[in-house]
Amino acid sequence: MIEKQNRMKKSTLLRIGIVVFVVIAAITLIYNYYLISPTTHYAGVDKFGIKEIYPTKTGGEEWFMNMDDPGSDPRIGGEGPPSKFVQQNDDGSWKVRSTEVRYGVLTSSGYHPDLITTLNQQALAAKGNMQSPNDWKNVEMTGYFKVNSFTDSNQNGGPHIELLARGGRNTNDIGTIDGLSRQCEATTYHSNTYVDDRVKFEKDLEHTIGYTTGDPEKQHAISPLVGRWIGVKAVFYNLPDGSVRLEQWIDENSNNNWHRVLKYTDDGNWGGGTPNCGGPDTQIITWGGPIAIFRWDNIDDMDVKYFSVREIKPPS
């Protein structure tokens, strides 16, 4: 009888152990594969009422879209032709009809190419900024987008939304600064969200020959974008060990509930391009740049609202 009870006890413990193992494995899978935080603790809300993942740095740089007239703002520009907002919609959002949009956002110091004295990436890493001490570096960029239609073009990649920071103007200018191509000014991290449900990070170390290969990405990360609102956040911040963390967050149902869909740490092993900007093809972009950019390609009818760029206090 005692032996039978012991066998039953062992069997029960085994079943409990299996259940615990399955639960732990499921949590690990959700966190590490899907990269979704089980519980998102928000830092606050911005002026539009949008939840913030990380707190704004005390005294740090902030910019919020002028929802009355987003094309008339002294802190936009520096990047490509001016974005044309063709009409304001009934819900207060703005419509853009262009297949190639580059909406540059400046810090309070503006964009002054004459203040960019070097594009040598090792010198920039030592200096900490490209143009000014308050360049965009540790940032949380946010925007809401509604894709109404897109083209079948693959120029600059398939139809997608792209948030990028840490550089200056993305240019094909053949001029030089301190002996290096002006195209090194485009050194940036990119967070891409594709209309077909894919998300991806890119690193550009010289426009465009410096784009990395083997970029971190995830298929089926979101639902297809057409005909609905979605919130997108790109977060870039330095870590104490000299690496840089990249995160993409999504508000899938446009109800201010955010989850992380992609995370990557650039620790100096991400390369593959052929840049000639004073650093290796695996250069970590640890410095700030004067322009943060909201970009999209091959989307010919888009409604947008609530863009913002905030300098954040990185998590410790």
Going residue by residue through the chain, which has 316 residues, state the pLDDT in tens, using 9 for 90 and above.
Answer: 555 555 555 565 556 555 445 444 444 444 443 444 557 899 999 999 999 999 999 999 999 999 999 999 999 999 987 889 999 999 999 999 999 999 999 999 999 999 999 999 999 999 999 999 999 999 999 999 999 999 999 999 999 999 999 999 998 888 999 999 999 999 999 999 999 999 999 999 999 999 999 999 999 999 999 999 999 999 999 999 999 999 999 999 999 999 999 999 999 999 999 999 999 999 999 999 999 999 999 999 999 999 999 999 999 8
**Angle at CA of residue 46, ends 41 and 49, nearest 5°:** 90
Place of tokens 């149902």: 253
DSSP 208: T
Q: Is 232 exposed, middle or buried (0-12, 13-18, 19+ CB in 10 A)?
A: buried
Residue 262 to residue 246: CA distance in whole angstroms? 8
Residue 258 to residue 53: CA distance in whole angstroms? 8
Residue 138 corresponds to which tokens in the numbers above? 């540790």
The candidate with the shortest Cα–Cα distance to 302, out of 168, 159, 125, 147, is 147
Pairing status of strand 199-204 against strand 229-238: unpaired
Residue type, 176: T
pTM: predicted TM-score of the whole model, two decimal places: 0.88
Residue 137 to residue 124: CA distance in whole angstroms? 12
Place of tokens 């784009």: 211
Residue 227 near residue 203, CB atoms below 8 Å:
no
Distances (CA, A) of 220 to 6, 262, 270: 48, 11, 23
